[in-house]
């Protein structure tokens, strides 16, 4: 039976990720991800994508999309950024638990990227990233160099195919033996064709920026304009709002009674500025809450989700209010 790898291109849609001199992380991520998929499929690996175009799904939604494909592994592609240009350089791979196949996969990818010229920073455990926390399969998030480092960009720009090939080689070294027929071993060349996930919900993070509370978010300047900033407004990341369909609107809960056939979530904040919303989402995710960020009309809305009864949602509402977060329960409508 063939091994299947789900590939996630981080960010997308209104979430540009890190930006440097007009270069957008979401674009680099997608280019690398598509090339990686072609190479893997040419080597006998079945491939699925969380996105193949410029669209947004939250980190949790991306994990759910990957889970729905029945993939054996998940590889999320990102690029890092620092508080100032050309401060840091190198590749870093993030895992939920640095043990077993996750550790092997992360180290193999880092080593292969080091061989083509990137500095190998490390493998780091991150339990606050939704795409790693909510995936059913071993998952790694690869930071393919710093987008605000000129040397790292030169390595990537010299050949995106070579960079994707290095990531593929790391994957194949760990999982490829289960899928690649003997006649195909050693044939590691990019080719066309792969399977894409159908029916992606349009609503991108982790951001972090994903998915995600990475080093890329340590920018100095701030911008006013949030409807409610919650706690610790996120520093400037130069994210812009691109065309994206608004997520389905949530509706306030009326009569408070438990209904097993309904789902609920907590609205935590409403913002005009994406980076402030992302900061609150990341802060809540870091405390272990399942978070989501949606664009509703002109606003970015942060939710804590995953409640199957009104009683569960109400308890979480009170808990978060005790922690100083204003919030209220909404019922999820199909």
The CATH number covering residue 316 comes to 3.30.70.1070
Residues 30 and 128 reside in one and the same domain: yes
User: What pLDDT is recorded for position 334?
Assistant: 62
Domain boundaries, position 226: 219-331
Residues 100 and 24 reside in one and the same domain: yes
Q: At what angle do helices 100-115 and 160-175 cross, to 10 degrees?
A: 150
Is 299 part of any domain?
Answer: yes
Residues 162 and 232 reside in one and the same domain: no
User: What pLDDT is recorded for position 262?
Assistant: 82
In whole angstroms, give the CA distance from residue 135 to residue 74.
8
Q: Do residues 168 and 160 touch, judged by C-beta distance below 8 A?
A: no
The CATH number covering residue 78 comes to 3.40.630.40
User: What pLDDT is recorded for position 323?
Assistant: 86
Is 44 part of any domain?
Answer: yes
Q: Do residues 42 and 190 touch, judged by C-beta distance below 8 A?
A: yes
Which residues touch 220 (CB under 8 Å, ≥6 apart)? Answer: 83, 84, 235, 236
Domain boundary among 157, 184, 211: 184
Domain boundary among 184, 206, 235: 184
Is 297 part of any domain?
Answer: yes
Which string of DSSP letters, residue by residue, matches 170-182? HHHHHHGGGT--G
Residues 110 and 178 reside in one and the same domain: yes
Is 192 part of any domain?
Answer: no
In whole angstroms, give the CA distance from residue 65 to residue 59.
10
User: What pLDDT is recorded for position 185?
Assistant: 35
Is 194 part of any domain?
Answer: no
Residues 175 and 225 reside in one and the same domain: no
pLDDT digits (tens, 9 = 90+) for 85-135: 999 999 999 999 999 999 999 999 999 999 999 999 999 999 888 899 999
Report how many domains make up the chain: 2
Residues 146 and 52 reside in one and the same domain: yes
User: What pLDDT is recorded for position 176?
Assistant: 66
Residues 250 and 135 reside in one and the same domain: no
Residues 239 and 166 reside in one and the same domain: no
Catalytic member of 25, 35, 107, 143: 143
Domain boundary among 163, 184, 205: 184
The residue ranges of DSSP E strands in 68-212, in sequence order, are 73-80, 91-95, 120-125, 139-146
Low-confidence residues of the chain, pLDDT below 70?
1, 176-261, 334
Is 191 part of any domain?
Answer: no
Is 195 part of any domain?
Answer: no
220 is catalytic: no
Residues 140 and 234 reside in one and the same domain: no
Residues 223 and 163 reside in one and the same domain: no
Is 119 part of any domain?
Answer: yes
Q: Per residue, what are the HEC states of 214-240?
A: CHHHCCCCCCCCCCCCCCCCCCCCCCC
Residues 30 and 165 reside in one and the same domain: yes
Residues 37 and 173 reside in one and the same domain: yes
User: What pLDDT is recorded for position 272?
Assistant: 82
Helix (H) or strand (E) run with residue 267 in it: strand 264-271
């Amino acid at each position: 039976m063939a091994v299947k790898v789900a590939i996630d291109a981080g960010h997308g849609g209104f979430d540009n990720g890190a930006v440097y001199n007009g270069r957008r992380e979401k674009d680099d991520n997608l280019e690398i991800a598509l090339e990686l998929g072609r190479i893997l499929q040419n080597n006998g690996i079945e491939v699925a994508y969380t996105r193949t175009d410029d669209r947004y799904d939250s980190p949790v939604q991306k994990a759910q999309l990957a889970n729905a494909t029945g993939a054996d592994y998940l590889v999320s592609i990102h690029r890092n950024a620092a508080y100032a240009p050309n401060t840091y350089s190198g590749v870093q791979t993030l895992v939920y638990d640095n043990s077993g196949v996750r550790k092997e996969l992360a180290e193999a990818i880092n080593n292969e990227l080091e061989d083509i010229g990137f500095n190998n920073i490390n493998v780091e455990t991150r339990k606050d990233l939704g795409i790693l926390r909510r995936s059913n399969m071993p998952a790694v998030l690869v930071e393919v160099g710093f987008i605000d480092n000129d040397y790292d960009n030169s390595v990537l720009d010299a050949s995106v195919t070579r960079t994707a090939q290095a990531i593929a080689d790391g994957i194949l070294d760990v999982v490829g033996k289960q899928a690649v027929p003997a006649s195909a071993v050693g044939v590691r060349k990019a080719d066309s064709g792969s399977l894409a996930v159908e029916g992606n919900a349009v609503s991108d993070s982790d951001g972090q920026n994903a998915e995600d509370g990475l080093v890329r978010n340590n920018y100095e300047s701030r911008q006013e304009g949030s409807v409610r900033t919650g706690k610790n407004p996120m520093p400037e990341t130069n994210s812009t709002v691109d065309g994206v369909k608004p997520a389905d609107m949530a509706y306030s809960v009326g009569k408070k009674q438990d209904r097993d056939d309904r789902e609920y979530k907590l609205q935590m904040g409403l913002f005009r500025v994406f980076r402030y919303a992302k900061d609150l989402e990341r802060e809540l995710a870091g405390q272990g809450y399942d978070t989501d960020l949606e664009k509703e009309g002109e606003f970015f809305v942060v939710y804590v989700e995953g409640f199957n009864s009104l009683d569960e949602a109400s308890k979480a509402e009170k808990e978060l209010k005790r922690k100083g977060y204003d919030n209220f329960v909404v019922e999820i409508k199909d």
